[in-house]
Chains A and B, each alone.
Chain A
């Protein structure tokens, strides 16, 4: 294997390892759910991204053949990671945060976690804000 490619692959692996480690360390060190939520967004972007770039370089130059799987993994991660974070944040808001500690929406309606959307008949739905 070409020495330079070896160095490049190793560098990307180390970078991703460092960011994965910092992300996990953040999970232990930070306080509160919302702060801890910021740590895994790092692990999924640069942490996984570094491994994927290293893998692409390795398969392109060493195994001799372009691999599309890394691009797909990136695509699927970028689609799913924000949704997971959003779900965790929403359930945290519904369970542990009251609307008056949040900033105003500056509009007619409040945040969707607590308020019903305009127009829809949601009388059958259990209202999240009430059963706390």
Chain B
């Protein structure tokens, strides 16, 4: 019964929080309205999302978010220094292939988004069967190191989250 009423508990909670954030005031009426939205929207959209992934390990999720935020700050400074002080001829931009072990589309989306958000790498395309990710690297001498960093730092954690 509960499962039919709330097909995506996390999505419902997220919608409630986003609604409260949008109105920016915690009152009983807003919480109730957010709760109704959180119940109705997942129920209507549930047929479009049949194979939703199961999220596990909240600690790993928090660890992942913190690591990504830290990497964003570090990589920002690195790329800013390259833009400011490296002559254009010395910037080595390269395409890097990252073979994927992730299979769920949601996990691959998160990985691709992470790669783009950390400055210095932009995920550009996916292999047609979803087995590899094409990443453009702003400046690197060693594309294998870039690939291994992405795999060990982000993909391994995502694999644990989306199992």
> What is the interface of chain A, defined by CB distance below 8 A to chain B?
18-19, 22, 25-26, 29-32, 34-35, 37-39, 41-42, 45-46, 49, 67-69, 71-72, 75, 78-79, 81-83, 85-86, 89-90, 93, 102-113, 115-118
Given contacts A25-B83, A38-B122, contact A115 B128 (CB under 8 A): yes
Q: Evaluate whether A112 and B126 lie within 8 angstroms (CB atoms) in the complex, with A30-B83, A38-B138, A85-B116 already known.
A: yes
> For the complex, is B103 an interface residue (Cβ under 8 Å from A)?
no
Most chain B CB inside 10 Å of its own CB: which residue of A19, A71, A75, A111: A111
Tell me how many residues of B have a C-beta within 8 Å of chain A: 40
Q: Cβ of A89 and Cβ of B122 under 8 Å apart?
A: yes
Q: Report Cα–Cα, A109/B100, bound state, in Å.
A: 13
Confirm or deny: B104 has a beta carbon within 8 angstroms of a beta carbon on chain A.
Answer: no
Complex: A105 Cα to B128 Cα, angstroms: 9
Q: How many A-B residue pairs have CB under 8 A?
A: 137
The answer to whether B116 touches A82, judged by C-beta atoms less than 8 angstroms apart, is yes
The residues in B between 75 and 96 inclusive whose CB is less than 8 angstroms from any CB of A are 76, 79-80, 83-84, 88, 91, 93, 95-96
- In the complex, are the beta carbons of B79 and A38 less than 8 A apart? yes
Q: Is B127 an interface residue (CB 8 A)?
A: yes
Given contacts A22-B80, A35-B91, A82-B116, contact A102 B134 (CB under 8 A): yes
CB closest residue in chain B, given A92: B124
Given A41-B119, A111-B125, A112-B128: A46 touches B73 (CB 8 Å cut-off): yes
Q: Complex: how many Å from CA A86 to CA B91?
A: 22
Q: Select A105's contact among B97, B117, B138, beta carbons within 8 Å.
A: B97
Interchain CB contact under 8 A, A29 and B83: yes
Segment among B1-9, B18-26, B40-48, B148-156 that sits at the interface with chain A: B18-26
The minimal Cβ–Cβ distance linking A123 to chain B, given in whole angstroms, is 15
Closest chain A residue to B83 by CB distance?
Answer: A26
Within 8 A of A (CB), among B100-137: 112-113, 115-117, 119-120, 122-132, 134, 136
B161 within 8 A of A: no
